Each structure stands twice: as structure tokens, then as C-alpha cells.
Amino acid sequence: MRKITILGATGSIGLNTLDVIKQHPNEFEVIALTAHQQIDRLQTLCLQWSPRYAVMADPQAAEQLSLRLQKLNSKVQVLSGTDGLSFVASLPLVDMVMAAIVGSAGLLPTLAAAKAGKRILLANKEALVMSGQLFMEAVQQHGAELLPIDSEHNALFQCMPINRSEIHHFKTSEVKSDDSAPLAHTLEEMGVSRLLLTASGGPFRTTPIEQLHEITPSQACAHPNWKMGRKISVDSATMMNKGLEIIEACWLFAAKPTQVEVVLHPQSIIHSLVEYIDGSVLAQLGNPDMRTPIAHALAWPKRIASSVSRLSLIDIARLDFEAVDFDRFPSLKLAIEAMNAGGTTTTILNAANEIAVQAFLQKRLRFTAIHKVIETTLSRLTGRVATSIDTILEDDTQARELAQEAVNLHQ
């Protein structure tokens, strides 16, 4: 019986994780569930799953949840804040942690899981986008296991020549002092020439560019293939999501930015591809359902059922591919430039994007001004070597302040 903490249990990844676990009641035990402010949803999950701990990032929400559960005679212990999140992520009895908190809020608890040597099912991009070097060092130094949940990175992982004897549980074996990711083998040593991340292009792949300034939050959140949270949906629409995935892939697979490419694939059936030096290209295919990568990581190296519908190539009939238009998706270009710059530049990029997307969802910023806020913030704050988590958090805070000013400038 493997024991799990789910960080971000009320989001789409968290709920899909619970759906897979429900199909294997003798394999997994839910120890802790967390949420930000979704009191009703977390209460329902606590009554359904009876975890030992429930954590709400918001202290007031935690207090309300605690009172409700007490009235219902629930024995669930309610904690709050970053300390509570880090506590349940590093509990000695927990075997694995689903890191599915969206945004920078997931960084510290995910880092706590790494330092506790847990198997980390990484759905939180920001842990690597904000602190790639430090996070990968923590994974290596504390013997943690790192398995990617993003459909694209999970697909790459499935297509890579990685096994238990070569890279035990996808952990690092050597920490390098430069900006390259500290993985046991380089892509060249594994015979890999390119990593190809597929992208649907979101809801505005064919929308005339001159019409994008009128896009509403509801339109941006209507992804054609995937069911995701609002922030990630907007990131998909701007393709910043794919930019963050490039950064994540570089750290996960010890890749240079020039070795990671993006190709538009509207059907979202091929989730990513690995090209080898002999000309072979391996691809992972499947219906667009996050339960597939979740089930893969939960049981790895074994396979378990996920209830995902079987892929019918006959029904699909065709698979299309297109080049990326950076004039349509300028945020993607900014992410690539940030990765090339290194250091805390990606931290600044991420912080500015979160502020800009929030302003857009609040209807304080046009869709076409999201990348302008990011660009302005990057021009006003220069990245530096990420020597500590405090350095990262300082630049994150300063970038958010500058991004708020940029939102006012570009309204």
C-alpha cells in the first residue's frame, strides 16, 4: 500500500489523481489533501477519502474547514499555510507526493518533498521554472524520485532510454556547477538528438491576429482538447504554457534550449516525440486525458488501468502538424529567451506571467497585453545566479511588484 499526499487536490490534476486511485483501492492510501481556498470541495473530499491531514493554504479557510469537520465528527486534522503544505509533503509515512499546486505557491512544498526524499509526481512547472538548479540538486542530494506528470514531459519520459539500472527512478547522480541540468546522462550519450514538444495551439491557433485584442477570459479558457484550470488554460492560449514546458524539459532531461523544439499538433493525440541520432523518432500517443500520465507515474515502472478511453486511429483518421508562428505567440519566444539567459530570469518571467494572467482574468488587461507586461518586467529587472531559495523568492517578489506596475501601464 503506497501512501500519497496530493498537493492541489481540488484542481483538475488532483481530482484526476483521486479518480485513478479510486480504481486501485488496495494499492494506494491518501494521507493528506490540500487546497487553497476551496472549502466546500476539500470538505467533500475529506469526507470521501478520510485523509489524516487536510491543508488549506489560506489560514481563514483552514479555520472554517476545521470547524465544519469537527461538527461532522471527522478526525481529519486541518493545517494551514506554507508550513502546513510543507509538513504533509515531507511526512515520514508518505511515499509519494503529487505536486499539483498551480503557480509559484507550489514551489516550497514541492522542494520540501524533494528534501524529504519522496517520489515526486511533478505537475507543478514552477518548481523547475523558478528554481531548476536548486531543485534538481535537492532531488539528487536527498535521493528523491522525480516523475513528470505534464502530458508532454511524461511522453518524453516514456520515449527515452531510461530504466531502473541506468537512471534509478529518474533521479540525478551528479550535480554540475554550471547552468546545465544535473542529470546522469546527456542526451548525446543516450543517442538523442532532439526533443519535440507538441502543442495544440489552443483556442486561437487560427483566429486572425487583429482580432486577438478582443478575446475575453471565457474564450481563452475554452480549450479545444483539454479540461484545465483557468490560469493554465490562459497560458495554453498564449502558449506561455509551452514556454514553461521548454524550460522544464531542459532541466528534466539535461537538454539545451536548442535541443527542444515545439510543433503545433491540433489534435493533441501525439503528446511528444524523441528523435534519435540514427533517424528514429519515437512518439507517445493517447487520447487527451491526464489520467494516462498520472496512472503511469503512480505505478511506474509498472502499468495500471486508468479508465481512459482507448485510442482509435481509425476514428481520428488524420494527424496534422504546423510550425509555430511567434508573431501570434510572442510569450513563447519570451520564455525561450529567458531560458537562454539563465539564472533567475525564468523566475522573473514566471512571476510576471502570473500577474499578467491574473489581471486578464479579472478583465483589467487585454489578452494581447499579457506578453507586453512580461516583456516590460523582464526589461526592468535583470536575472542573476540563483544561489539560494531566498534569492529566487526575492526576485519573484520584486518581479511581481514591477509586473503590477506594468499592468497599469498597459491597461
pLDDT by residue for the chain (411 residues), tens digit each?
Answer: 999 999 999 999 999 999 999 999 999 999 999 999 999 999 999 999 999 999 999 999 999 999 999 999 999 999 999 999 999 999 999 999 999 998 788 999 999 999 999 999 999 888 899 999 999 999 999 999 999 999 999 999 999 986 543 443 444 433 333 443 334 468 888 899 999 999 999 899 999 999 999 999 999 998 777 777 889 899 999 999 999 999 999 999 999 999 999 999 999 999 999 999 999 999 999 999 999 999 999 999 999 999 999 999 999 999 999 999 999 999 999 999 999 999 999 999 999 999 999 999 999 999 999 999 999 999 999 999 988 999 999 999 999 999 999 999 998
Lookup: cell for 275: 528523435
Dmax (CA) of the chain:
65
Lookup: cell for 164: 531502473
Q: How many CB atoms lie within 10 A of CB 387?
A: 12
DSSP state at residue 351: H
Give the DSSP letter string of 375-388. Answer: HHHHHHS------S
Give the DSSP letter string of 59-124. Answer: HHHHHHHHHHHHHTT--PEEEEHHHHHHHHHS-TT--EEEE---SGGGHHHHHHHHHTT-EEEE--
Going from the C-alpha of 153 to that of each of 82, 167, 244, the distances in angstroms are 27, 16, 11
Lookup: cell for 112: 520540501
Give the DSSP letter string of 83-94. Answer: HHHHHHHS-TT-
For residue 406, report the phi and psi dihedrals to the nearest 5 degrees.
Answer: -65, -35
pLDDT at residue number 163 = 54
How far is 403 from 382, CA to CA, in rounded Å? 13
Crossing angle, helix 330-341 and helix 345-361, to 10 degrees? 150
Give CATH for domain 204-283+326-410. Answer: 1.10.1740.10
